[in-house]
Chain A
């Protein structure tokens, strides 16, 4: 499918403001919707939140008042887009149910991107990270059964398996070891830029969500688990943002953001089963085409370069939410014991890692282990959803 967003006309900016009636979207059904519809909603919310925050940072670094006003105008529309997207989530869902959906996004989005990523160093970064989100899903699923007496399969619907990944206690690395090497903006495949931006935005939204909703819980184990995993999400933001070449100019970054939004709305429009949600993806794609045109003009004006130099000639294959069970099982079998050292990966626990672990855990079991202990006390088992057979690592079998 060829679709070049640079050649498409979008909705003129002065016709993009929506009324209260238009913003009052009907939420999706908490049980009957495709879980991947909810995953697409959560992903696009993260993308729009990043669009808003990035534009604010850019505005704070912009002197020209006309440019500031232009950024504010697009940003207001992006703020409305974020509302229209995130308000598709149903109010009857609990925070923990939404959390489990966030982790399903992190698992199946990152796993799919790892499969499609052409650059081996970047692919390794996604393969490394996905085993941690996979373990977070397992920990939250156990918390969910303890507090709400519901099984996470009611949320993930058998599309994503739930079982131990790289143990969460091992995710607490020295901050130095969370910084990766960036891709080279001049040499890398344009698809790699979109992948990095997408996963970074998703993890950033997860971090924001946990840091704000964690303390709304009353149960001590819930409060503590959100604190622990919230800290790891910050590590993940560091990990993924460091993949992006810092040599990109502000305007180049703006163009990449807008191009990525076109790519994702186009992808999700192509695969969406829910008619009303599909219509929203289409509407937002048509808005983003205009945002991209405006960003391209800014880049030409300020950098004196053509956006075509940094973008793909057409959109890559649609980014797809689909089960990644085989791929994840292969990673579980081969990469559970990996950690990072500097910008690379090692299998042995090195001195800096051990020191960090010692300082943080201080001889106690972290919340992520205690949630499983408490679950076992209550139910005489942990909660898992292993649809494709026993855990690929023998020592991790129930």
Chain B
């Protein structure tokens, strides 16, 4: 729902003020932080621990990107002038990152080629995340009413709940990570949950 230029601006309405309520941008920025931290965990670990950390990273990336594709990008397309182009550029970054991820997915985490490929993926993901924050999210917050941002946050949270990004406490390890399922199945579950949550609103 784009802000109309002919309506007077109510500066006290709290538009663009994430403190008014938990909004989707604050939530996704924190996910960006967690993704960055997980890259560091994969880099610092070795052996089984590295493999487990990498699976957690792949899983969180799948949840996060799917939620963005389902919730944020469609809203941004129509929220502001040039939104379509901004989203197209973000999708191109996402596609490039996914290709790097696909190359890694078949590789053993102890393979000597793994670490350079991981760092290359990290660079692509961080650039993509920062570009979203600067060029897409900032505009989205500016043009979207707080209640709409809050509803979008609810949908992203539903997505996370449908595909928990962390194993249950006490069951960490390879078995628990296996239970998280492959990235494609994760994306399906996330999409269903998002559509239910957005439909409720």
Give the interface of A toward B (CB within 8 A). Answer: 30-32, 91-92, 94, 147-151, 154, 218-221
Contacting B138 at CB < 8 Å: which of A148, A151, A154, A218?
A: A218
Shortest Cβ distance from A195 into chain B, in angstroms?
A: 35
**Is B154 interfacial (CB-CB < 8 Å)?**
no
B138 near A94 with CB under 8 A, answer: no
Contacting residues, chain B, for A32 (C-beta < 8 A): 43, 119
Q: Of B37, B43, B119, B127, which contacts A92 at CB under 8 A?
A: B127
Tell me whether B59 is interfacial, beta carbon within 8 Å.
no
B18 touches A31 (CB 8 A): no
Binary interface profile of B, 18-45, with partner A (CB < 8 Å = 1, else 0)?
Answer: 1100000010011111101101100100
Contact B43 A31 (CB under 8 A): yes
Distance (whole angstroms) from the CB of A370 to the closest CB of chain B: 11
Cα-based distance from A226 to B138 in the complex (angstroms): 19
Cross-chain contact A148 with B29 (CB below 8 angstroms)? yes
Other A-B pairs beyond A92-B123, A94-B133, A219-B19, 13, CB < 8 Å: A31-B39, A31-B40, A32-B43, A147-B26, A149-B29, A149-B34, A150-B34, A151-B37, A154-B37, A218-B17, A218-B138, A219-B18, A221-B19
Bound CA span A32–B26, Å: 27
* A218 and B16 contacting across the interface, CB-CB below 8 Å: yes
Q: Interface size on B (CB < 8 Å)? A: 25
Contact B19 A92, beta carbon cutoff 8 Å:
no
Residues of A contacting B51 in the complex (Cβ-Cβ under 8 angstroms): none
* 19 cross-chain CB contacts under 8 A: A30-B126, A31-B39, A31-B40, A31-B43, A31-B122, A32-B119, A91-B127, A92-B123, A94-B130, A94-B133, A148-B33, A149-B37, A150-B34, A151-B37, A154-B37, A219-B18, A219-B26, A220-B17, A220-B19
Question: Quick check: is B55 within 8 A (CB to CB) of the other chain?
Answer: no
Output the residue of B30, B32, B33, B119 with the most chain A CB within 10 A: B33
B64 within 8 A of A: no
Q: Which of B106-148 contact A (CB under 8 A)?
A: 119, 122-123, 126-127, 130, 133, 138, 141
| Minimum C-beta distance from B143 to chain A (A) | 13
B residues in contact (CB < 8 Å) with A: 16-19, 26, 29-34, 36-37, 39-40, 43, 119, 122-123, 126-127, 130, 133, 138, 141
Query: Would A148 and B32 be within 8 Å (CB), given that A154-B40, A219-B18 are in contact?
Result: yes
Is the beta-carbon distance between A150 and B36 smaller than 8 angstroms?
yes
B26 touches A92 (CB 8 A): no
Q: Which of B17, B18, B37, B123 contacts A150 (CB 8 A)?
A: B37
> Given the interface contacts A31-B43, A154-B40, A218-B141, does A92 sit within 8 Å of B126 by beta carbon?
yes
Collect the chain A residues with CB atoms within 8 Å of residue B16's CB.
218
The residue that B33 contacts in the complex, of A30, A91, A150, A220, with Cβ under 8 A, is A150
Dominant secondary structure of chain B at its interface with chain A: helix
Q: How far is the CA of A219 from the CA of B33 in the complex (A)?
A: 16
**Chain A binding surface SS class:** loop
In Å, the complex CA distance between A132 and B70 comes to: 46
Residue of chain A at shortest CB distance from B142? A218
CB-CB nearest in chain B for A90:
B126
Output the nearest chain A residue to B32 by Cβ-Cβ distance.
Answer: A148
Closest to B123 in A: A92
Minimum-distance CB pairs A-B, first 10: A149-B30, A149-B33, A148-B33, A150-B33, A92-B126, A92-B130, A220-B19, A219-B18, A149-B34, A92-B127
Q: Which residues of A contact B39 (CB under 8 A)?
A: 31
B127's nearest neighbour on chain A, judged by CB, is: A92
Task: Report how far A293 CA is from B133 CA in the complex, Å.
Answer: 47
B37 CB to closest chain A CB, in angstroms?
6
- Give the docked Cα–Cα distance between A150 and B37 (Å): 7
B14 CB → nearest A CB, Å: 10
Q: Which residues of A contact B141 (CB under 8 A)?
A: 218
For A147, the chain B residues whose CB sits under 8 A away are 26, 29-30
Closest to B130 in A: A92
Q: Which residue of B lies closest to A93 (CB)?
A: B130
Once bound together, how far apart are the Cα atoms of A148 and B31, in whole Å? Answer: 8
Contact B18 A218 (CB under 8 A): yes
Question: What are the residues of chain B within 8 A of A31 when measuring CB–CB?
Answer: 39-40, 43, 122
**Which chain B residues border A94 with CB–CB below 8 Å?**
130, 133
Query: B117 → chain A, closest Cβ, in Å?
Result: 15
